[in-house]
Structure 1
Amino acid sequence: MTTHFDDRGYYERVSGPVEALLSLQDVKRQVCVKHSDDDDILQRLIGTATEFLDGPSGCLGQALVRQVWRCAWSRPPCGNQKLKLPCGPVQKIESASYFDTDGNEHSIDPAKLWLLRRSSETKVFPGTGFAWPSMSDHPEALSITFTVGYGSSADVPSDIIHAAHLMVGNWYEHREPVVVGTIASELPLSAQRLIDKNHVGWVSG
């Protein structure tokens, strides 16, 4: 589990993705490989492409195949303050909890939390008749677990899938020159344009 820290708290992937973004079989068809000698190489390149594209730290700024993330705020929100989630598309809030001013942990009914979805970000905030309760100054004053992603790999937009295939194919064909730290400069222009088209990005706040 990888944990990302910022000045608000932290966020981490709890589980998923539920399946690979690209199947080995599809990639082998794309690169016209019929033997199994390079299966390990192709699997590694699939993983690299997925990591490059997927999640809050990916270049698209969004989750692709369905996965679960947890976000914790160390700065207690107040009233009906809207809080930004690290990536989308957010499907649902799974659970939420907070620490009160006495240091006791309580759960929040996810049905009381609403989502504001926009093209560049998703925010969570208290629904009608509910406000953020008083919270302690705690590293996990408020924690929210949520499901993100388009669904299965078949639900991911086709141009993102195509960009991933172009990346894997390019790296496979030119695998000797590609080294860590130069992946972005090695992207084919067609893949870069598809990535730019689908880039959302994570806006801190």
Structure 2
Amino acid sequence: MTWGGVSVVSKPEALPLALADLKARLRVDHDDEDLEIEGFLRAAVGMIDGPEGIGVAIMRQTWRLTLDILPAQVILPGAPIAGLVALRVLDAGGAWQEVPLEDCRLVTGIDPVRLMPAPGAAWPRPVAQPGAVQIDYTLGAETADHADPSLVTAVALIAGQFYNHRETVVAGQVVELPLGARHIMEGRRRGLVG
């Protein structure tokens, strides 16, 4: 699946792995490199998380899907989708109309998740111009305890690779991802976002 028009409205406030937990996995028992290790942790999360990663949300965040039209059924990119925040439609007068959430049905029992009008509801018709529809929705785990453990492991593996090969990371050379992390990422990839 290839997606376009996806952006992050609000980024996660928390990391899926605490610095202390990552240090324990790396067997680092000093604080001298905490800033560097946290940087590697954030870089590892960035390789996986969000539309710029593999199309998943590890921790709670809000994405926006921008469309030119509003079909009867919209496939929402990303996973795991937690809920709908807003559906806005640009009208002929140039004003954004917020569709009441009770007029929307988020179908979560299937993959990918779909958004459609609730039974008996009708959505307004957007003006015919690019970007006339905005759909905001939340994805990801609310707490690190509920984050996908496989993705957390991939984050730790990548951060560990950066830490163990930091000379090449600092020099700008390409560091190959650990095989285990690549396997996890490919198994969880939601498509190409662009």
Identity of aligned residues (%): 28
Match among 16, 19, 23 for residue 14 of structure 2: 19
Number of the residue aligned with 1:189? 179
The count of aligned residue pairs is 190
Q: Which amino acid aligns with 1:67?
A: Q
Q: Can you list the C-alpha shifts for 1:131-160, whole angstroms capped at 9, x where unaligned? A: 332211244311121111122121112121
Distance 1:141 1:166, change over 3 A: same
Number of the residue aligned with 2:45? 50
Whether 1:132 and 2:127 are equivalent positions in the alignment is no
Q: Can you list the C-alpha shifts for 1:155-203, whole angstroms capped at 9, x where unaligned? A: 11212111111111121111112365734xx111122222222222247
Give 3-state SS (helix, strand or coil) of 1:144's partner: strand
For structure 1, the 5+ residue unaligned runs are: none
- Judge which range, 172-181 or 188-197, deviates more: 172-181
Q: Which amino acid aligns with 2:70?
A: P
Q: Can you list the C-alpha shifts for 1:33-59, whole angstroms capped at 9, x where unaligned? A: 111111111111111111100012212
- Counterpart CA distance in 1 for 2:32 and 2:16 is 21
Give 3-state SS (helix, strand or coil) of 1:27's partner: helix
- Judge which range, 46-55 or 17-26, deviates more: 17-26
Number of the residue aligned with 1:160? 151
- Counterpart CA distance in 2 for 1:36 and 1:98 is 51
Q: Which amino acid aligns with 2:93?
A: D
- Counterpart CA distance in 2 for 1:15 and 1:91 is 14
Q: Which amino acid aligns with 1:149?
A: G
Distance 1:202 1:125, change over 3 A: farther
Match among 134, 145, 148 for residue 136 of structure 2: 145
Q: Which amino acid aligns with 1:96?
A: L
Question: Normalising by the residue count of structure 2, what TM-score does the alignment of the two structures yield?
Answer: 0.87
Number of the residue aligned with 2:191? 201
Q: Can you list the C-alpha shifts for 1:50-70, whole angstroms capped at 9, x where unaligned? A: 1100012212x2111001122
Task: Verify the 8 A CA contact 2:168 2:174 in the aligned structure 1.
Answer: no
User: How well do the aligned residues superpose, as a CA RMSD in angstroms?
Assistant: 2.2
Number of the residue aligned with 2:70? 77
Question: Normalising by the residue count of structure 1, what TM-score does the alignment of the two structures yield?
Answer: 0.82
- Counterpart CA distance in 2 for 1:132 and 1:17 is 30
Q: Which runs of 4+ in 1 moved over 4 A?
A: none
